[in-house]
């Protein structure tokens, strides 16, 4: 076990409320989750301390993001392996339209400033890699947002899961899932839509994904690495208006986009 993250005794995961069909008029919310593979796509394999990404004027990942924004006017974007969200938004021509948050351990969130107001935001460690493949601690990063035109709220969480893949990290899958769900129940407001998305580093047959499916709807999973990129939610399946796998854009992960009515 790595130091610094106590596993604690086993405990049940908290239940998450299910939302009803959206009240009229429904609000359309578009979201993207994307592991940018920063070291590979932005730093081109060079050590991060060289900040090689600052010498590029663009790449295939930026093109994918800009195309997704142009097609769906994305409301929220969640990135993993994201070393500088401010620079990313600026170089993608999106800094004037989106508010970005740089989290710990390469997690980032951004929301469409003209449409939403930030109510609260936070992050916490939910897992840690094992010694077999140790890169660090793993975060849950969240935002509560208010839709300016309708007054409706949403809760969005970004997660980059622990290694080795499908292990659940030092404390195992039940502890990782319990921490994610506990963060939601502690910070979201009962009854509001919840979207949990990211690179979970857990295959579709893993205990992590199986446990999450017991508490949230599986809205979409990628195809790379046996489906480790995922989007979960508590909204009714009928409220999902569309799903799209946008491919890798140079990353070895799927960029996933979902459109909801809330």
> Is 60 exceeded by the pLDDT of residue 2?
no
Are the C-beta atoms of 220 and 196 separated by less than 8 Å? no
- Interval 178-203: pLDDT, tens: 999 999 999 999 999 999 999 999 99
Q: Residue 39 — pLDDT band, cuts 50, 70, 90?
A: confident
In the chain, the domains with their CATH numbers are 28-261 (3.60.10.10)
* pTM summary value: 0.93
Render pLDDT for 75-96 as a digit per residue (tens, 0 to 9). 999 999 999 999 999 999 999 9
pLDDT at residue 49 tops 70: no
pLDDT at residue 4 in the model: 46
pLDDT of residue 182: 96
Predicted confidence at residue 57, as pLDDT, reads 57
Predicted confidence (pLDDT) at residue 126 exceeds the cutoff of 90: yes
What's the pLDDT score for residue 41?
86
């Amino acid at each position: 076990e790595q130091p610094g993250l106590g596993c604690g005794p086993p405990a049940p995961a908290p239940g998450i409320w299910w939302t009803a069909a959206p009240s009229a008029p429904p609000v359309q919310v578009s979201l993207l989750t994307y592991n940018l593979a920063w070291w590979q796509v932005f730093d081109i394999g060079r050590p991060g301390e060289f900040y090689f990404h600052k010498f590029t004027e663009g790449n295939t990942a930026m093109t994918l993001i800009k195309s997704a924004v142009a097609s769906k006017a994305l409301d929220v974007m969640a990135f993993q392996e994201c070393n500088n969200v401010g620079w990313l938004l600026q170089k993608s021509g999106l800094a004037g339209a989106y508010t970005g948050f740089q989290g710990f351990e390469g997690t980032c969130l951004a929301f469409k400033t003209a449409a939403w107001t930030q109510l609260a935001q936070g992050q916490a460690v939910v897992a840690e890699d094992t010694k077999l493949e140790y890169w660090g601690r793993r975060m849950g990063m969240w935002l509560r947002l208010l839709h300016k035109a309708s007054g409706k709220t949403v809760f969005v969480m970004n997660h980059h899961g622990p290694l080795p893949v499908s292990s659940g990290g030092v404390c195992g899958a039940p502890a990782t899932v319990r921490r994610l769900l506990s963060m939601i129940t502690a910070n979201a407001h009962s009854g509001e839509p919840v979207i949990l998305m990211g690179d979970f580093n857990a295959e579709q047959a893993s205990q992590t994904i199986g446990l999450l499916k017991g508490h949230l709807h599986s809205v979409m999973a990628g195809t790379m690495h046996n489906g480790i990129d995922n989007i979960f939610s508590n909204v009714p399946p009928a409220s999902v208006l569309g799903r799209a796998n946008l491919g890798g854009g140079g990353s070895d992960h799927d960029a996933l986009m979902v459109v909801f009515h809330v």
